Structure 1
Amino acid sequence: MTISYNWLCDYLPVRPTPEELSVILTRIGLEVESLEKIETVKGSLEGLVIGEVLTTAQHPNADKLKLTTVNIGGPAPLQIVCGAPNVAPGQKVVVATIGTTIYPIEGEPMTMKKAKIRGEESQGMLCAEDEIGLGAGHAGILVLAPSLIPGTPAREVFNISEDYVYEIGLTPNRMDAMSHLGVARDVCAYLNNENNNQAYSAKIPAIPALPKAAISLPISVSIVNTVANPRYAGLSITGVKTGPSPDWLKNRLQAIGVRPISNIVDITNFVLHETGQPLHAFDATAIKGGRIVVKNLPQGTPFITLDDKERKLDAADLMITNGEGEPMAIAGVFGGAHSGVQATTTSIFLESACFAPASIRPTSFRHGLRTDAATRFEKGVDISQVPYALQRAAALICELAGGQIASDMVDIYPAPKPKTQVTVTYAYIHRLSGKAYPVTKIHNILVSLGFDILAQTAESLTVAVPYSKPDISLPADIVEEVMRIDGLDNIEIPAFISIAPSLSAQPDKERIKEKIAEYLAASGFHEIFTNSITNSKYYPEELQNSLVRMLNSLSADLDVMRPSMLETGLESVAHNLNRKNEDLLFFEFGKTYGLANNGYTEHDHLSLYLSGHKTQEHWQHKPELVDFYFLKGFVINIFTQLGIKGLEWEEAPQDSLAQAYTLKVRKNPLAVLGAVTASKLKRFDIKQAVWFADIDWQLVLQLVGQHTDKYFTEIPKFPAVRRDLALVLDKQVKFAAVAQAAASIKSPLLQQMNLFDVFESEKLGTNKKSYAVSFTFQDVQKTLTDKEIDNVMDKLVKTFTAQLQAEIRK
């Protein structure tokens, strides 16, 4: 939000300095992000004066130069060399004296110095308008009115003004501060609180008697959709002369970054930023049938907007139409190309209305029209201010454009809105704010902000909320108003804080998430955050009907909620690879979305994306590419960190993954991992292998929640014993089958088994391989004997032989 210092001070009863005002605004919750001095002309013509050319003579050493003497009101005239073809005695001109810096329209600033030009002394410069930033003219020096007095500062002649502009970081709920009058009300409330009185109030511009036209131009109004348009006001103005705005109005708008267009349009923009109420002016000749109807039009109705683009209307778009049903404007968002004010316009219909935020916001996003009017309507405007803003703009149009009022004001307000009432106790204010405010201070602040005190007791008060604050509905909102006007920095920090310990639900989801994130970050991973909204073109035709589609997509490439974590992660991988960041370890916590019988579903995931090399290139070893086992190690470590056991591996082909495995716990799929297929990588223009793991984070949290108790045991006192076996098996047998067979003997002595070698050779037999497996045995109560170990080893051999048809290599 941009606020002009000069403009704001028009409504304040006192004029603090720009720096003082900056401090006040920040204290009352309108955080000033920047304060910048601006000038209508760069340099403000500082040092430039009005001079009178006394004499001119030909330069003795240059055909195109002249020697002039110029009176600038000093004790003696100045000699100035001038090359302008139009310089002549008796002219009043702008003179840049020695030491003055000028700021041309183009080029760098230049400081005047005493100089000799072709051998003749020059004590300054006679200026053209482009040389001092006043315009683009460079045909000759700027010749002024003969009545001007030499020595007069040029800034006084050209009415140069300075201003200060505040960039305020508004929170989304503060629509009441989206205008200069709204900010002025807050500043006055602060001043009243500082002085403990009700002496200050914003100076609301009065509405003068308006001139009446000899011939009336009545235009009737009817509202079909009163839900989307609870109030509509308007009046006709004739005799309008469209043209440029006066300088003061241009300066006000330019200060806040609004480009002046014409007096009528500028006045509606001025009143918008003054009051916060959007307005729109229609050319009265476009209102066929002398009637305005506010309604919705059929789906797909074409409409050409002010930017000369044809848009297809949605059935939910609220429209302003004429008596023949033709659309003239998208209500509260954008005007039409054929109904707006033109250079030839002489009669207008001025609109001031209140449109429902729930109607404006979808329409604004649907058509990509983020206008100042839409921004205010979608947050909610002061419905009580609709007639005042209309009359204020009408008065300015009559004053600046020669208009005359040609109709009575139409004000359609079928269901007047009651003020919101809120009851709050003083004890609640004390408890929530941490400060015991005097009752008189609370009343003073609320009244200064426009609240009405409806009832009060020794314990509480009931207030009616002003229409300008539609966000206030709860007692906490009242506390916030009191705190910010009194100043958050006025709340004392206590010497100690008393808190009652509380038990949180187990498991603590955030702590678990943080634990795994820290583990992955410590292992070299980088966390990424990708957009949950993605491109439907990433997914095959058979999935299109199951996608969650955006109702108001901002882009054709962002039209669905992602059903999978893979594609958005690959976007990030491709982005990095395209910038030569080729060794990637990424992880992401995110959600996927789908359709269900009763609506929509969302699911939590943890995804890993690996590509490139495990380690950087080094002279001591060659770099190795990441592979399935590298990925598998991280997945297993995650579950080990969380105490999840009983993992089962199963080959599970996937459309997007090759060498894909599903990791299950008690038959429930817990994770899927594998290599992204070449066709999927090609879709993202990725030319190196990418490994992907998708972990069902919701199931992880459920499993952790079932094992919240932690058990600790002392380190065993008795030694462990290792035995090795070499098993000859069919090539199709996975090590997981060996581990499962070993677990089936259920020996408490078998603590660990490990595959430490795989050997394949024709000597073993056709389609055979050898697993070298180590077994670790231990008893926590005593030292194991060879006999006890041999008994378990015999059971293992028999089991391997029976279940896996294994042969024991000697």
Structure 2
Amino acid sequence: MTISYNWLCDYLPVKPTPEELSTILTRIGLEVESLEKFEAVKGSLAGLVIGEVLTAEKHPNADKLKLTTVNIGSGEPLHIVCGAPNVAAGQKVVVAPIGTTIYPISGEPLTMKKAKIRGEESQGMICAEDEIGLGSSHAGIMVLDPSLQPGTPASEVFKPAQDHIFEIGLTPNRMDAMSHIGVARDVCAFLNNLENTGKYQVQLPAINALPKAGTQLPVSVKIENTDACPRYTGVSITGVKVAPSPDWLKNKLTAIGVRPINNIVDITNFILHETGQPLHAFDATAIKGNEVVVKNLPQDTLFTTLDGKERKLDASDLMICNGAGEGMCIAGVFGGLHSGVTDTTQQIFLESAFFSAGGIRTTSFRHGLRTDAATRFEKGVDISNVLFALQRAADLICQLGGGKIASEIVDVYPVVKPKTHVSVTYNYIRKLSGGNYSDEKIKNILSSLGFEILSANAEGLEVAVPFSKPDISLPADIVEEVMRIDGLDNIEIPSKITISPALSAQPDPEQVKEKIADYLASNGFNEIFTNSITNSKYYPEEVLAHTVKMMNSLTVELDIMRPSMLETGLESIAHNLNRKNENLLFFEFGKTYAALEKGYGEFNHLALYLTGTKTDETWIHKSSNVDFYFLKGYVINILRQLGYQQLTWTESEDAGLQPGWEIKVKNQPVVKLGGVKPAKLKQFDIKQPVWFAVFDWDKLLQLLKKTDSFYKEIPRFPAVRRDLALVLDKQVNFAAVEAAVRGVKSPLLQGINLFDVFESEKLGANKKSYAVSFTFLDPQKTLTDKEIDAVMEKLIKAFETQLQAEIRK
């Protein structure tokens, strides 16, 4: 979530510094991930002053240049050589004196220095607007108001916007903090608690009396699906002039990364980030029958959205339709192409509504439309704020767009939503939080946040939760609010911890798992964790008949619970292969799922995935690829680690493996292993063999006695290899080469390997050649050729100077 410091301060009764505010936000759980300065004009015109051109004469050595003298309000007039065709005596201009840095619209920053231009001294620059970031014109210098006084700082004349921008890492439940007013509410509550007062209140913007044009554009509203849309408000506005927004509005949006479009769209975006309430403006001429109907359209109805794409609607998609039953907008998600505001729009119908979170999220993911509005609605907006946001936006449209209200405000709210009531005891708050809060402090914090205290006694209290906090429904949620506002850093760390010893099951499943993970990790395997939700397209119909299907899938690609460990592991292998990490030994402890005759089944597994080579090539032997017998050795060793010696092998007809084998222990199948079929590899665009084994972990634990174990993480980014051939004197050994490499001391160099030694008279008398490979890796990012080349140059220089080596080309 991006928050503007200046914008936030509009709603605060006091103005902390950006650094103080950053600390406050982090203390109350709104972790500030970054705080950066924003400048509408790079450099904010620092050092630039207003000057008066006293003289402007032709340069003696250049036809297109002029010699000027400029008064900048202090000291002697500056002598400046100017090439602008419009410079003339008497003008007020922007001057960059010596030492001032200017930031052109295009190009690098430039610091003014004393210079000679065609033999004449120049003590600065008279600026055009593109040279100082105020515009794109380079037709000539800026000629300013004659009344301006020389020496006035340019920043005081043009007042370029400056701000500080907070990037807040919000947790998914904090819908209440997805707006500037919401954040301001938390800050005021913190200040009230800090000073034990109630004087700090959010300064809500005043709404002016709306200019009216009568009721010439009446629009009625009908809600057919009140579950998906419990409340809908709207108003008609006529006489609107769609135009660019004023600078103050553009600056507020630009500061938080929102691109200004026009005054109507900008106002709706402004209200979204001010209040957290999404709005939508319709061209009133598209509302046939002067009626808005909120309903669902038939399955596969075609609808063209604002981006010009024609989409097939699902019967569960909530739509905003006109009186003719035609869709105008996918409710709460995205507008329609034929009902949106255009540059010629003069009459609009402004919508502010509440849509159910679940329906919006489903529709948004189904159509791949992840809009700001959908993001708010799916987390639950404040249903009590709907009307205020509408009135606030209508006020701004009348002010900035010249509009007048042309209808009564429509507010359809069939069943008024009750507030959630939560009861909690003081002892529960203290016990769960670890904080020794007084009863009064708890009540003051909750009151400052907008909670209504319905009743209170010596034991605890019952509160009505404000609509701005739809995530709060449990006593634990109340504890979190108290902890946040008092400051998460105020919780005392206890000097001792009291625990009761407990007996674990024998054998302990976690110790068994750790023992096997430790064995695999020590043998070069890396543990992976893949998604239990996967894509149904990976599986044939006979498998899908028994899968667990997602009712509300995250995306169309994640729609079932995985029936097999193989496919999600192949996704991870493909991901690595695409990044040139080609030699892989993976293991994973995970679950598969199945739809049974009665309910659902959940099964634990250990899976092994092998591909690429067994070992890196060296000077004494070549690399060899992993194969079935390499996989078999690890499978047998794992079973031996668990105490199983007597194994029965049978051929398996597993659909994904070829060849496929099954291992039985005590006549019970516990492992399937083999090579992944080419057809399955092709699904993931994998072009090298992959070997796979899957253990029935539940069954193994049933047969087991006891064990214990450990794992380690793999690098996130791929390593890069470079080879080098060195011609050396025969008496130079490889230890000397390693010593030279260590002297370079590069953190990117992870390994060195000698993979070939060659001796021949062709190399010269008493000479030999070492072929050496170098491995580079940065755990924080992907390496570039430039970075690797820089290290290689240092290595080569070290070999040449320390070992008198010759690099073979």
1:60 and 1:462 map into 2 onto residues whose CA distance is 88
CA gap 1:630/1:305 in 2 versus in 1, 3 angstroms? same
- Residues 1:495 and 1:552: Cα distance change in structure 2 (over 3 Å): closer
- The amino acid that maps onto 1:127 is C
Residues 1:512 and 1:336: Cα distance change in structure 2 (over 3 Å) = same
8 Å Cα contact 2:565-2:590 kept in structure 1? yes
Partner residue, 1:337: 337
Per-residue deviation at 1:46? 0.6
1:114-513 to structure 2, matched below 5 A, reads 114-513=114-513
Q: How does 1:38-187 map to 2 (within 5 A)?
A: 38-187=38-187
Retained in 2: the 8 A contact 1:563–1:594? Answer: yes
TM-score (norm 1): 0.84
**Distance (Å, rounded) in 2 between the aligned partners of 1:557 and 1:476:** 35
Deviation sequence 1:682-725 (CA, Å, 0-9, x none): 55555544322111122223333xx4699xxxxxxxxxxxxxxx
Contact 1:239-1:347 within 8 A present in 2 as well: yes
Shift, 1:465, TM fit: 0.8
The answer as to whether partners of 1:366 and 1:552 remain within 8 angstroms in 2 is no
User: How much does 1:536 deviate?
Assistant: 4.6
Change (3 A) 1:322 1:480: same
Structure 1 residue 655: Cα displacement:
3.3
What does the per-residue CA deviation read over 1:581-610, in whole Å, with 9 as the maximum and x for residues that have no partner? 444322122233444345654432211122
1:218–1:509 distance in 2 versus 1, CA, 3 Å: farther
User: Can you list the C-alpha shifts for 1:619-673, whole angstroms capped at 9, x where unaligned?
Assistant: 5666554343432232222233334565332222333323422112343321111
* SS of the residue 2:500 aligns to: coil
Query: How many angstroms apart in 2 are the aligned matches of 1:59 and 1:313?
Result: 71
Larger radius of gyration between Structure 1 and Structure 2: 1
Distance, in Å, in 2 between the alignment partners of 1:682 and 1:416 is 56
Give, in whole Å, the separation in 2 of the partners of 1:494 and 1:540: 56
Alignment of 1:569-580 (within 5 A): 569-577=569-577, 580=580
Q: Distance in 2 between matches of 1:303 and 1:394?
A: 28
Letter in 1 for 2:294: V
- Structure-2 separation of matches of 1:426 and 1:90: 76
Change (3 A) 1:709 1:39: closer
- The AA in structure 2 aligned to 1:139 is A
Q: Tell me how many residue pairs correspond in the alignment.
A: 708
Q: Give the direction of change, closer, same or farther, for the CA distance of 1:433–1:533 in structure 2 (3 Å limit).
A: closer
Give the counterpart letter for 1:115 in structure 2. Answer: A
Q: Taking structure 1 as reference, are residues 11 and 505 closer, same or farther at Cα in structure 2, changes over 3 Å only?
A: farther
CA distance in 2, matches of 1:644, 1:163: 68
1:686–1:160 Cα change, 3 Å:
closer
Change (3 A) 1:612 1:185: closer
| Cα distance between partner residues in 2 of 1:507 and 1:26 | 44
Other-structure match for 1:639: 639
Deviations 1:423-482 (A, max 9, x none): 111111111111221111111111111111111111111111111111111111111111
Give, in angstroms, the shift of residue 107 of structure 1. Answer: 0.6
Q: In the aligned structure 2, how far is the partner of 1:372 from the partner of 1:395?
A: 22
Task: Kindly provide the CA deviation profile for residues 334-363 of structure 1, in whole angstroms up to 9, marking residues without a partner as x.
Answer: 111111111111111111111000110000
Q: 1:622 to 1:256 in 2, by over 3 A?
A: closer
Q: What CA distance in whole angstroms lies between the structure 2 residues aligned with 1:547 and 1:78?
A: 82
SS of 1:73's partner is coil
Task: Output the amino acid matched with 2:354.
Answer: C
- How far the C-alpha of 1:147 sits from its partner, in A, is 2.7
The secondary structure found in structure 2 opposite 1:248 is: helix
| Secondary structure of 2:636's aligned partner | helix
- Give secondary structure in 1 for the equivalent of 2:446: helix
> 1: distance between equivalents of 2:314 and 2:320?
14
Contact 1:644 1:703 in 2 (8 A): no
* TM-score (structure 2 length as normaliser): 0.84
Shift of 1:140: 1.1
Contact preservation (8 Å) 1:216, 1:406: yes
Tell whether the 8 Å contact from 1:240 to 1:401 is kept in structure 2 after alignment. yes
Moved more, 148-157 or 323-332: 148-157
**Number of the residue aligned with 1:673:** 673
Q: CA shift at 1:168, angstroms?
A: 0.3
Q: Which moved more, 1:473-482 or 1:675-684?
A: 675-684
CA gap of 1:445–1:574, structure 2 versus 1, over 3 A, is: closer
- Secondary structure at 1:437 match in 2: coil
Q: Counterparts of 1:695-706 in structure 2 under 5 Å?
A: 695-704=695-704
Q: Please give the alpha-carbon distance, in whole angstroms, between the structure 1 residues aligned to 2:282 and 2:681.
A: 55
Match of 2:517 in 1: 517
The structural deviation recorded for 1:618 is 4.3
Q: Would the alpha carbon gap of residues 434 and 547 (structure 1) be closer, same or farther in structure 2, given more than 3 Å must change?
A: closer
Cα separation, partners in 2 of 1:688 and 1:72, compared to 1, 3 Å: closer
The secondary structure found in structure 1 opposite 2:306 is coil
What RMSD in Å do the two structures reach over aligned CA positions? 2.2
Distance change >3 Å, CA 290–CA 50, structure 1 → 2: same
Distance 1:96 1:692, change over 3 A: same
**Is residue 2:11 matched to residue 1:16?**
no
SS in 2 for 1:650: strand
SS in 2 for 1:38: strand
Q: Secondary structure at the residue paired with 1:385?
A: helix
Once residues 214 and 582 of structure 2 are traced to their aligned partners in structure 1, the CA distance between those partners, rounded to angstroms, is 78
- The residue identity in structure 2 corresponding to 1:134 is L
> What are structure 2's unaligned runs of at least 5 residues?
709-809
In 2, the alpha carbon distance for the partners of 1:209 and 1:572 equals: 60
Deviates more, 1:224-233 or 1:72-81: 72-81
1:616 paired residue number: 616
Taking the aligned partners of 1:364 and 1:551, their CA distance within structure 2 comes to 15
> Aligned partners of 1:575, 1:490: CA distance in 2, in Å?
44
Aligned partner of 2:428: which letter?
Answer: Y
Counterparts in 2 of 1:286 and 1:624: CA distance versus 1, 3 Å:
closer
Q: Distance in 1 between matches of 2:485 and 2:197?
A: 14
- Do 1:235 and 1:405's aligned partners in 2 also have CA atoms closer than 8 Å? yes
Deviation by residue 1:242-277 (Cα, 9 ceiling, x = unmatched): 111111111111111011111111111111111111
Task: For residue 79 of structure 1, report the CA deviation from its aligned partner.
Answer: 1.6
SS at match of 2:171: coil
Q: How far apart are 1:397 and its partner, in Å? A: 1.0
For residues 700 and 324 of structure 1, do their structure 2 counterparts lie closer, same or farther at Cα, with a shift above 3 Å needed?
A: same
- Kept in 2: contact 1:606–1:694 (CA 8 A): yes
TM superposition shift of 1:514: 2.2
- Contact 2:546/2:594 (<8 A) preserved: yes
Q: Which amino acid aligns with 2:667?
A: K
Distance in 1, matches of 2:469 and 2:557, equals 38
Q: Percent identity?
A: 72
Q: Say whether the 8 Å CA contact 2:676–2:690 is kept in structure 1.
A: yes
Q: Is the Cα–Cα contact under 8 Å of residues 214 and 405 in structure 2 kept in the other structure?
A: no
Cα distance change on mapping 1:116 and 1:415 into 2, 3 Å: same
